[in-house]
């Protein structure tokens, strides 16, 4: 979308991740699931970009592709001076010290047979980081940094609460001192009260360690708390991207407006519920995406032209990009086809 600056840590260009499916019959054509279909974005050092969208939009596949945990079909992933898409074998293994992943489920992402200290130490041992004594000191420092006590190192995962398990996952992700941390719905499996604690922990660690986050979520309230920029995904593509304040003050794409209308508020009550924009139908199949705008079949303000040609992702305001032919600037003011009164 924009040229990378010297402060850019992660640059993703025209990323495609397609998954072939087995033929249903001898004479049936092969099918391909276009999970991610032409994604481009960048993240500045020390900031957080949130990828949001409903289930099936391609958020998690993007996160897995960026960390090379799923094969790329095409595209470029640049982490600083490294072209991650071209790395294989030992070179990729060495590069993994610079980026780590925090998984969604704090229960299944820990080995139940390993003590917590061994879980956090494992990346240091696998990547041969420091001396054994330095690794021991590093693990102790990480437990303190994430709010766990020294004696917790000797416990097994089943002896921890969900929030404590996620703290162990965070400590493990930080063990190799990565520059980029990919967080895939890191609080969605936790109780509401614990979510705030984990989010505040991530914010504090980012501030203290200079971390860069790619944050995957479907919860707009969580995203507003933690992100610097937000990118909305729909059917494998980014349809809107903007700084946090600009997006939450004035979302432009009809899909973004519909997402925001569903965010509960303390004071909105029945009035806000009545104003909610309800989308009809389900998203189209990623096996055979429709021509034109991929949201047109569900868009309440779509015109016939919307389904004929795919709109480009345009910068409609400084650093605010949108993929909608009906959003435009008239007499210096942004005109949108759909708005939500309570936003």
Query: pLDDT, tens digit, for every residue of 218-248?
Result: 888 889 889 999 999 999 999 999 999 999 9
Q: Average pLDDT of the chain?
A: 90
H-run or E-run covering 10: strand 8-21
Q: Name the CATH architecture for the domain at 1-20+33-227.
A: 3-Layer(aba) Sandwich (3.40)
* pLDDT the model gives residue 15: 97
pLDDT tens-digit readout, 240-260: 999 999 999 999 999 999 988
Q: What is the dihedral of CA 289, 292, 297, 299, to 10 degrees?
A: 130
**pLDDT number for residue 3:** 43
| Residue range 134-150: mean pLDDT, rounded | 96
Query: Where is 15: in which H helix or E strand?
Result: strand 8-21
Compute the average pLDDT of residues 108-128: 93
pTM: 0.91
Contacts of 84 (CB under 8 A, 6+ apart): 66, 68, 77, 78, 92, 95, 99
Percentage of the chain exceeding pLDDT 70: 93
Taking 50 as the threshold, does the pLDDT of residue 53 lie above it?
yes
pLDDT at 71: 94
Q: Determine contact, residues 39/51, Cβ cutoff 8 Å.
A: no
Q: What are the residue ranges spanned by the domains of the chain?
A: 1-20+33-227, 254-343
Contact 59, 230 (CB under 8 A): no
Q: Is 290 helix (H, G, I), strand (E, B) or coil?
A: coil
Q: Which of 93, 100, 86 is nearest to 214 (CA)?
A: 100
- Out of 25-34, 60-69, 173-182, pick the least confident: 25-34
Q: How far is the C-alpha of 59 from the C-alpha of 218, rounded, in Å?
A: 9
């Amino acid at each position: 979308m924009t040229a990378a600056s010297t402060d850019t840590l992660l640059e993703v260009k025209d990323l495609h991740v397609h998954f072939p499916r087995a033929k249903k019959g001898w004479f049936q054509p092969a099918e391909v699931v276009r999970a991610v279909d032409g994604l481009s974005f960048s993240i500045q050092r020390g900031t957080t970009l949130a990828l949001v969208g409903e289930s099936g939009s391609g958020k998690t596949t993007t996160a897995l592709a960026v960390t090379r945990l799923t094969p790329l079909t095409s595209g470029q992933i640049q982490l600083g001076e490294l072209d991650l898409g071209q790395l294989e074998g030992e070179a990729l293994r060495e590069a993994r010290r610079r980026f780590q992943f925090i998984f969604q489920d704090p229960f299944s992402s820990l080995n139940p047979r390993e003590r917590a200290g061994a879980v956090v130490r494992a990346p240091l041992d696998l990547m041969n980081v420091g001396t054994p004594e330095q690794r021991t000191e590093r693990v102790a420092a990480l437990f303190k940094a994430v709010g766990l006590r020294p004696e917790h190192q000797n416990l097994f995962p089943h002896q921890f609460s969900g929030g404590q398990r996620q703290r162990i996952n965070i400590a493990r992700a930080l063990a190799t001192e990565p520059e980029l941390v990919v967080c895939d719905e890191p609080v969605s499996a936790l109780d509401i009260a614990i979510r705030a604690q984990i989010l505040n922990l991530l914010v504090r660690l980012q501030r203290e360690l200079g971390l860069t986050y790619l944050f995957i979520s479907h919860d707009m309230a969580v995203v507003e708390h933690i992100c610097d920029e937000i990118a909305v995904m729909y059917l494998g593509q980014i349809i809107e991207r903007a700084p946090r304040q600009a997006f939450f003050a004035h979302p432009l794409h009809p899909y973004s407006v519909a997402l925001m209308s569903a965010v509960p508020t303390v004071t909105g009550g029945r009035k806000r519920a009545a104003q909610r924009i309800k989308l009809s139908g389900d998203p189209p199949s990623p096996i055979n995406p429709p021509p034109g705008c991929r949201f047109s079949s569900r868009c309440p303000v779509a015109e016939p032209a919307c389904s004929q040609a795919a709109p480009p992702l345009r910068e409609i305001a400084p650093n605010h990009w949108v993929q909608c032919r009906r959003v435009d600037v008239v007499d210096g003011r942004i005109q949108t086809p759909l708005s939500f009164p309570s936003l």
